[in-house]
Amino acid sequence: MKQFIRSYWKTLLFFAIAGIIGGFFTGMYILDSYPPEMQQQLLDELTAGGLGGFPPDIIMGVITAMQAAGYGIFLGAAGIWLGKTTGLWKGEKKITKKPLTASFIVAVVGGSVLILSDLIFFGNHSQLIMDSYSVKPTIPYLIASVIYGGVIEEVMLRLFWMTLVAFILWKMFDRKNERPSMWVLITANIIAALLFAAGHLPATAAMLGLSPMIVFRCFLLNGGMGLMFGWLYRKYGLRYSMIAHGGCHIVSKLIWILFV
């Protein structure tokens, strides 16, 4: 354990700092996205708990920051250990051109598809989707998307869940091989992508409701992007899935701010 900490404390510290920053702004953004009645309910609960004198967005930000930092440290450590066992943890020291280019392509294409699919198709079937673009992204939303999405969600869904699923499938069905077979890694990526999409359902429901079209949209777009992030993680390493994920948010928000 001591050797593990000595080897990866910098990586885990990075995850924790990203969790604190991204989690804080995610908490503020989540509160802003709540309907007025839910915000009032939260305010009443804080008042009952003796925290009524503090701004609710700050309290929500602190709570979410602590949770995200914990995810970064504990799920990050477990994911690294599992990744070293399965071979998914690459441990690369330098960013190289080919995988970085692949990350940029995924970010640009993915970020564009997220916005254009709404403008060209999904928005024609739901006015709520188009209404969601009427207010430009706030600073907390931008920071939360890039840092929490790009780092903490990748730690949770790719480094931990995808690697854990690959480890379980390997030990259950593929033990004859020294490392998980390709079918195991692909299956693990699909399952992690579905979990990634399902994890977006609560926020989607709060903003748009959960009609069949909205659920389909959530799984198609988030699940599709999750598959690409998982492919980058499997082939090149976690840092490249993080770059692509954060870059996807940057591209989509820039299109939103400048052209929508």
pLDDT of amino acid 47: 66
Q: Which has the higher per-residue pLDDT, 33 or 236?
A: 236
Of 38 and 178, the structure prediction assigns the larger pLDDT to: 178
pLDDT at 45 over 80: no
pLDDT in the model for residue 234: 97
**218 closest CA partner among 149, 134, 140, 122:** 122
Average pLDDT over residues 116-128: 94
Q: Give me the mean pLDDT over the 168-175 stretch.
A: 96
- Find where tokens 């598809």 sit: 113
Q: Is 94 left (phi over 0), alpha (psi -120 to 50) or beta?
A: beta
In contact, 251 and 107? CB cutoff 8 Å: yes
Q: Are 100 and 235 in contact (CB under 8 A)?
A: no
pLDDT at 30 (0 to 100):
77
Please report the pLDDT score of residue 192 as a whole number.
98
Residue 50 has pLDDT above 70, yes or no: no
DSSP 37-61: HHHHHHHHHHHHTT-TTS-HHHHHH
In the block, which residue shows the tokens 């926020």?
203
DSSP 82-100: HHHHHT-----SS--HHHH
Rg of the chain over Cα atoms, rounded to whole angstroms, equals 19
115 Cβ contact partners less than 8 Å away, ≥ 6 residues apart = 252, 255, 256, 260
Nearest to 125 by CA among 215, 196, 200, 202: 215
Which two tokens mark 226? 């999750």
Confidence of residue 34 (pLDDT cuts 50, 70, 90): low
Q: What percent of the chain has pLDDT over 90?
A: 73
Dihedral sign of CA atoms 165, 89, 4, 147 in order: negative
Mean confidence (pLDDT) of the chain: 92
Render pLDDT for 56-101 as a digit per residue (tens, 0 to 9).
788 888 989 999 999 999 999 999 999 999 999 998 778 899 999 9
Residue 251: band (very low, low, confident or very high) from pLDDT cuts 50, 70, 90: very high
Per-residue model confidence as pLDDT tens digits over 124-163? 989 999 999 998 998 888 999 999 999 999 999 999 999 9
- The model's confidence at residue 228, banded by pLDDT at 50, 70 and 90, is very high
